[in-house]
Every structure is written in C-alpha cells, then in structure tokens.
Amino acid sequence: MSKIAAYQKCINPACGATFDCMQTLFECPQCGDLLDICYEWDKTEVPAKLSDFAKRWPNRLNRLDFSGVWRFRELLNFCPDEKKISVGEGQTILQQACGLAAELGMNPHNLFLQYEGMNPSGSFKDNGMTAAFSHAAMVKAVSSACASTGNTSAAMALYAKACGLKATVFIGAGKIAYGKLSQAMDYGAYTIQIQGDFDDCMRQVQDVCRKMNIYLVNSLNPFRLEGQKTIMYRILEGLNWQIPDWIIAPGGNLGNSSSFGKAFWELKALGLIDRVPRLAIINAAGANTLTELVNDHKLRWNNSHIDNAKINAYYGKLDAAGYKPHTIASAIEISRPVNLKKCLRALDVCNGIVRSVTDAEILDAKAQIGKFGLGCEPASAATIAGLKYLLADGTIGKDERIACVLTGHVLKDPDATVNYHSKKQGPFANAPVQAPNDLDKIIALMKA
Ligand SMILES: *Cc1c(COP(=O)(O)O)cnc(C)c1O
Ligand SMILES: [Zn+2]
C-alpha cells in the first residue's frame, strides 16, 4: 500500500485553511465553508491506467479488492487498509438499457443505467458510508448521526453496526418512505422523528454533532464524497474505460453530483482520462433550488468566487414565504442542498446543466424503467424524466452515449409503485385485473 498523503482543505478561496485527516470536521472551523479531501498524488502510487483497477475485481478473497469502492483505493487514499470497513458495497454494474433507449427514440446501444440499488442497503449511499465509517474508525469515533430522507439512515445504520458505532437518525415526521425507515429500525439505529422536514433535521443534527462531538455522516462529511466518486469509476469500467458523453443524476443534497465532478477532474489531472463527460443534474419541480439558482439567477462557480449574496437572497425568500419542498421523490425533497457550492464546481468542471421534472413525469419514467425489468425508486427516475426533456430540446443528441445513475432500489418505496399502477396514475400503469374464482373466466381473461 502506498503512503497516505491526504489532507482536508476549505473550499473558500479567501480562507483555504488545511487540516489533518485525523481531525473530525464537517465544516471549516475558521470560516464555516465546506471541506474537500485533497491528495498529494506524487506521494501515492496510482496505477498507470484505469484498467489496472479492474484486475482486482475477481479477487474475491481480498475484501478490499472485492469492494466496488476500495478496489479503487489509491484514488481515495486517506485511510490505512486495516481501518477500512467493507460490507461488500459497490457490487453494481452498468446495464445497457436497449429497450428503454428505443422507447425514448435513442440509439438503442447508447443508454446505460448504473443500478446503485444493488448495494447492501439498497442505495448508492453505501459508497459514501464505507468511506465515512472507515474515517470514523480511523479517528476512533464512538457515536454517529445523520439527518435523513431515508437512505442515508439505512446506510448509516448498517455501517455503524459493521464497525460498532452508535447510530442516531433524525428524520422529518411523515417524510420518509417505509422501506427506508424499516431498515434504520431493523439495524438498531436510535431514530428520532422531528416535527419538521429534512432541512429542519439537517440544521438540528449539525448542532447536536457540534455540541456532543458526534460523528456526522451526512454528505457534508467530505470523506463520504470520496467513496461516492467510485460510482463514476465503475461507470467507466462498465464502458471498458471509455468516457460517456453524459452522466445524468438526480439532485438532492448534491453530494453525488459534487463527488462526480471531483472524480473526473482528479482523473483528468492524473492523466487517466483525456476528457470529462457532461453532467446533467435533475431536480424535482417541488424541490428545485439548484435549477432556480443556476438557470434563473445565473449562479456560477466563477472560479470559486461564488456570489453568496444571491444564495442568501434566495434562501431569505424561501424563509419569508415559509416554503417547504414537496415531491413524491422523497430522497430529493430538499430545498437547502448542503453541497450547493461543490455542485456548482462540478457543473463548471463537467460543463453541466440542470433541469427540473414534475412528480407525474418522475412516476411515468419510473414505470418505464421498471417495465424493462430494472426498477428504481422515484428519485432515481428523475434521470430518465430529465433525459426526455434533454432529448426533446436537442441538448442531448440521439446518438450520444448516456449513463444515468439509478440511485435507489425499487423496493425502497413500494407505496409509490403500487399507487401508480393500481390507481392508474399514468399511461404506463399496469393495474391488477379482478377475476372471479372460476377457471373458465380466468382462462378467458388470460386469452384476452
Ligand atoms: C440521497 C439520494 C439522492 C440524492 O443524492 P444527493 O447526493 O443528496 O444529491 C437521490 N436518490 C436517492 C435514492 C438517494 O438516496
Ligand atoms: Zn475556511
């Protein structure tokens, strides 16, 4: 294993403070801004080509080689091997979606779905949690907490058990899909249901972690985002190390999109790729802070000189109106995305764009994805709903190669699925047919 040469750095250019990785921080103690994990690459032995990483995959008996996160360990080299936690995360593959592509009028060979629902807790969050809990183990944390719309809590509870930490979940009352809540309870997390929404939980959990010195595993945690970079490495792996034209991801707290941008600029800087794909981030219309700030208010990364006044004015208006986000896609029902600034940087790096889609469009897209045998939860389907817009307005060409990140498993939110089909909420509904308990009539129905 190569030498560990990583440190934490504040993203605010006016501050730029740096901190050792043995410090537990989820914000810059000097200015309060977000932190990045940075690497001294010249001190790390990074493989000469990306295909070298794939050689580890068949090595099932080495738990780190077999992990879809840690087989890329030189690209997130902040933690000694013996501290790394793995429960077999990242065994996800890029699936070619020919039927869906044809239905969308695309070249059928060019649409791919990265099904992160296949992770141990059923969402992409495990990629980040394995990294965060490895760091937690490294700094000898004893107790962890998160605010969650559901999947973060499921992943946290699972990884906390794997390494013996206490886990406390803050969820908004009535704001969680049952499949997810059931996991947090089953894995033994202490669950506190707060009278409020996700944004309220997010504020409370930060104060609790500051006051009680608890390890925060929301995506403010810069180590978590390091693990999520590997979703992009696996997409490249699935394309035999070719670069797709577009990555499409849903936008909630914007940790995923932030980490994707970081993954690509680091690979480019290391000379491991020669171009960066474009990034499309899809919001739900009822939680579209990013869309409004970027498309309407023209908020930009601006070489790290972000116009904070625009952000503050926007949030001021939300406060004044008592605004609460609302969407069926509970995983992205967030109006104050904590990684907003890092996401602006990812948009800059990847020449990215942002769109919003309605709940009805999300549910239709979800049913279309499901129809071809690869389900997902509503937030994940925002990708395909967004892709339809981008194809229609010519932003994405029919022959471009696209990888959509399906962030969560179809069984996470069975209510949304059952309601769509049984209540015939859209053109792709596949409702059950009622039959009498009579063989002839059943056969007649099956011939119909
Ligand atoms: C957390 C989550 C999201 C949102 O990801 P961010 O990184 O917060 O933008 C989207 N889909 C699912 C299924 C999630 O669990
Ligand atoms: Zn700072």
What is the mean pLDDT of the segment spanning 438-448?
94
What pLDDT, on the 0 to 100 scale, is given for residue 411?
93
Averaged pLDDT score across all residues of the chain: 95
With a 6 Å cutoff on the Cβ, whether 222 touches ligand 1 is no
236-256 pLDDT, tens digit per residue, is 999 999 999 999 999 999 999
What is the mean pLDDT of the segment spanning 299-310?
96
What is the mean pLDDT of the segment spanning 350-361?
98
What pLDDT, on the 0 to 100 scale, is given for residue 397?
96
What is the mean pLDDT of the segment spanning 224-241?
98
Neighbours of ion ligand 2 (CB under 5 A): 10, 12, 15, 17, 28, 30-31, 33
What is the mean pLDDT of the segment spanning 1-25?
90
Whether the predicted pLDDT of 208 surpasses 60: yes
What pLDDT, on the 0 to 100 scale, is given for residue 318?
96
What pLDDT, on the 0 to 100 scale, is given for residue 1?
47
With a 6 Å cutoff on the Cβ, whether 250 touches ligand 1 is yes
Confidence of residue 372 (pLDDT cuts 50, 70, 90): very high
Whether the predicted pLDDT of 2 surpasses 60: no
Domains assigned to the chain: 93-120+225-422 (3.40.50.1100)
Confidence of residue 181 (pLDDT cuts 50, 70, 90): confident
Q: Evaluate whether 214 touches 143 at the Cβ level (below 8 Å).
A: yes
Whether the predicted pLDDT of 173 surpasses 90: no
With a 6 Å cutoff on the Cβ, whether 289 touches ligand 1 is no
What is the mean pLDDT of the segment spanning 391-420?
96
Q: Whose CA is nearest to atom 4 of ligand 1?
A: 252
Separation of 220 CA from ligand 2 center, angstroms? 14
Whether the predicted pLDDT of 178 surpasses 70: yes
> Which ligand is closest to the CA of 33, given by its number?
2
Separation of 408 CA from ligand 1 center, angstroms? 8
For residue 387 the two structure tokens come to 């892709």
Q: Which atom belonging to ligand 1 lies closest to the Cα atom of 254?
A: 9
Contacts of 397 (CB under 8 A, 6+ apart): none
With a 6 Å cutoff on the Cβ, whether 332 touches ligand 1 is yes
What is the mean pLDDT of the segment spanning 438-444?
96
Q: What gap in Å lies between CA 423 and CA 368, rounded to an integer?
A: 16
What pLDDT, on the 0 to 100 scale, is given for residue 35?
98
Q: Evaluate whether 256 touches 228 at the Cβ level (below 8 Å).
A: yes
Whether the predicted pLDDT of 180 surpasses 90: no
Is pTM beyond 0.85 here? yes
Separation of 349 CA from ligand 2 center, angstroms? 22
57-94 pLDDT, tens digit per residue, is 889 899 999 999 999 999 999 999 999 999 999 999 89
Q: Which atom belonging to ligand 1 lies closest to the Cα atom of 252?
A: 9
